[in-house]
Chains A and B, each alone.
Chain A
Amino acid sequence: MSATEISLPEAMDEQRSAARIPKSRLKSVWLGVLLPLLLALLWEASVRTGLTSGRLMPPPSRIITTLWNLWQSGELTTHIAATTLRVFSGFALGAIIGTLFGALTGYSLLARRLLDPSLQALRAIPSIAWVPLFILWLGIFEESKVALIAVGVFFPVYLGVSGAVLSVDRKIVEVGRIFRLSGFELVRRILLPAVLPSYIIALRSGLGLGWMFVVAAEFMGASEGLGYLLVDGQQLGKPDQILAAIITFAIIGKLSDSLLAAIAAPFLRWEDRFGREA
């Protein structure tokens, strides 16, 4: 088999997509920002013209100034770093445990019958309800916050992995059996790659919950972090600071999700799916 024979059609594909994607991408990005941009402009105009006071709902320009000042003073970086570190630690912990339990209960009927009912019962508890207990057990510093985030991340990952392993096509598993794969090899060569697409989705929803729970965690007392900025803004009557923190959440939440999706993309090129882009 010669190299040119294979590379030719692929090179053509790349050329074609390189010419095509940016244009449609740009268009979809534009469509995506159109609505928020329009609303921001309207709000700015209504404050400028004196239609509204903007005291409780500051106009975009004031929020941007606040963000800029926080950034200039280096405060924003500190808060982002603190929050991101908490989310990352909690996410890692919750995702690892969720993956292990999900794989175990998906693969083994005994483990599922033993563990799943208890885990489902725990899932029914609103995670915020753990806060007082975590504070008593782990103190008011980082440990209790990371634990709460980990609990939030655990359940979607656990459910996603367990369900994905259970729904792997029997026909594909039989291919493994006919070639005499067993136990670990079957998991490594058939089950893991087969569940990868749903696993990535489970991780992404877990990460989303991680960002949700970090706010709750930081509400329970923190001296830094984006959640602290929120509480501080409320106590000192600074709605622009609250909105600045909210916008920062939106941006880094979206960025971290895109990062996770981008890391996963090369492993999912084989997928034969209906939709190409989100």
Chain B
Amino acid sequence: MLQVNAIGKIYQNGARALENVTLNVEDGEILAVVGGSGCGKSTLLRLISGLDRATTGTVSVDGVTISEPHPYIGLVFQEPRLLPWLSVAGNVGFGLDEPDTTRKAQRIGEALEKVGLSRYGARWPKELSGGQAQRAALARALVTRPRVLLLDEPFSALDAFTRAELQDHLLDLWNESRPTLVLVTHDIEEALFLADRVAVMRPHPGRIAQAFDITLPRRRDRTSPEFEAVKRDVLRSLNSTLALHKIAS
């Protein structure tokens, strides 16, 4: 279980990015965190990943306290961040700690196949499309089999069609090994399509305003009335945080 216990982050310039955020995410749960820009979503993810250190509070996975990057936790960034000097296969295997080279190549091959890139292993990253590059980044994070996978607006730079395709794909991948997913997004539809629970954040300082359990059966139909109804609720909550934001500033 991923436990985020009353964490807060105050940056060196005094900005309070996050205050007293507590979250318990069950094994295999998909949690989506939504909110306007500047509400601390990305900060939250960076603290969980161990890239940044929380000013207060703790993060733990299965009882292990996380204060720096840890093999239990994988992270997919907003941009693919592939290393341009490595082939696609080299990128996917970048974080794979497997001394046996045949075994390593095999695992890379499997990971590439899972994201539909088996023909692209020998290519350079510059030869991939945006969607393909983000798939490779997904494979790089999943190949090490993390217990918790963090995704920081992973599909926000893609066109609507590719985005929907990758959302489907992410669910397929999740179904195979059921890692815990924490997805930060500003796309409510994306959150509702994927998540078991949606946490709405509000800014100044960043904190969780409200959480919604999404019980609709999966693959959710984005156009069904039930989907629309939940979307309305979440939107209303989000809008009230935005209204607060305006009053505050």
B95 within 8 A of A: yes
Find chain B residues with CB under 8 A from A196 CB.
85
In Å, the complex CA distance between A178 and B124 comes to 22
Which bracket fits the contact residues of B?
20 to 34
Interface segment, one of A98-106, A139-147, A169-177: A169-177
Find chain A residues with CB under 8 A from B68 CB.
180
Contact for A270 among B81, B94, B124, CB less than 8 A: B124
Using known A-B contacts A178-B51, A179-B95, determine if residue A171 contacts B124 with beta carbons closer than 8 Å.
no
Using known A-B contacts A174-B51, A175-B94, A178-B95, determine if residue A270 contacts B71 with beta carbons closer than 8 Å.
no
Instruction: Flag if A193 contacts B83 (CB, 8 Å).
Output: yes
Distance (whole angstroms) from the CB of A240 to the closest CB of chain B: 49
In Å, the complex CA distance between A271 and B119 comes to 21
Distance (whole angstroms) from the CB of B133 to the closest CB of chain A: 12
Instruction: Flag if A270 contacts B126 (CB, 8 Å).
Output: yes
B49 within 8 A of A: yes
Instruction: Flag if B81 contacts A172 (CB, 8 Å).
Output: yes
Instruction: Flag if A5 contacts B119 (CB, 8 Å).
Output: yes
Distance (whole angstroms) from the CB of B118 to the closest CB of chain A: 5
Find chain B residues with CB under 8 A from A174 CB.
51, 77, 81
> For B85, B95, B109, B124, which residue has the most chain A Cβ atoms within 10 angstroms?
B85
Using known A-B contacts A1-B109, A171-B79, A196-B85, determine if residue A177 contacts B69 with beta carbons closer than 8 Å.
yes
Find chain A residues with CB under 8 A from B44 CB.
none
Distance (whole angstroms) from the CB of A156 to the closest CB of chain B: 23
B208 within 8 A of A: no
Tell me the count of chain A residues lying within 8 A, CB to CB, of chain B.
20
Using known A-B contacts A1-B109, A179-B94, A272-B126, determine if residue A172 contacts B83 with beta carbons closer than 8 Å.
yes
Chain A interface mostly: helix
Using known A-B contacts A1-B118, A1-B119, A6-B119, determine if residue A178 contacts B84 with beta carbons closer than 8 Å.
no
Chain B interface mostly: loop
In Å, the complex CA distance between A175 and B144 comes to 14
In Å, the complex CA distance between A174 and B125 comes to 18
B75 within 8 A of A: yes
From residue 1 to 21 of chain A, which have CB atoms closer than 8 A to chain B?
1, 5-6
CB-defined interface of B108-126 with A at 8 Å, one 1/0 digit per residue?
0100100000110110111
Distance (whole angstroms) from the CB of B5 to the closest CB of chain A: 22
Instruction: Flag if B84 contacts A271 (CB, 8 Å).
Output: yes
Find chain B residues with CB under 8 A from A190 CB.
83
CB-defined interface of B82-102 with A at 8 Å, one 1/0 digit per residue?
011110000000110000000
Using known A-B contacts A1-B109, A175-B94, A178-B95, determine if residue A270 contacts B84 with beta carbons closer than 8 Å.
yes
Find chain B residues with CB under 8 A from A47 CB.
none
A194 within 8 A of B: yes
From residue 186 to 239 of chain B, which have CB atoms closer than 8 A to chain A?
none
Closest residue of chain B to A181 (Cβ to Cβ) is B95
In Å, the complex CA distance between A180 and B70 comes to 7
From residue 148 to 196 of chain A, which have CB atoms closer than 8 A to chain B?
171-172, 174-175, 177-180, 189-190, 193-194, 196
Instruction: Flag if B124 contacts A6 (CB, 8 Å).
Output: no
Closest residue of chain A to B121 (Cβ to Cβ) is A1
Find chain B residues with CB under 8 A from A270 CB.
84-86, 124-126
Contact for B51 among A6, A177, A269, CB less than 8 A: A177
Find chain A residues with CB under 8 A from B122 CB.
6
Find chain A residues with CB under 8 A from B125 CB.
270
* Pairs across A and B, CB under 8 Å, 8 listed: A6-B119, A177-B51, A178-B51, A179-B144, A180-B68, A270-B84, A270-B126, A272-B126
- Given A1-B118, A171-B79, A193-B85, 7 other A-B contacts at CB below 8 A? A5-B119, A171-B81, A175-B94, A177-B51, A180-B68, A180-B69, A270-B84
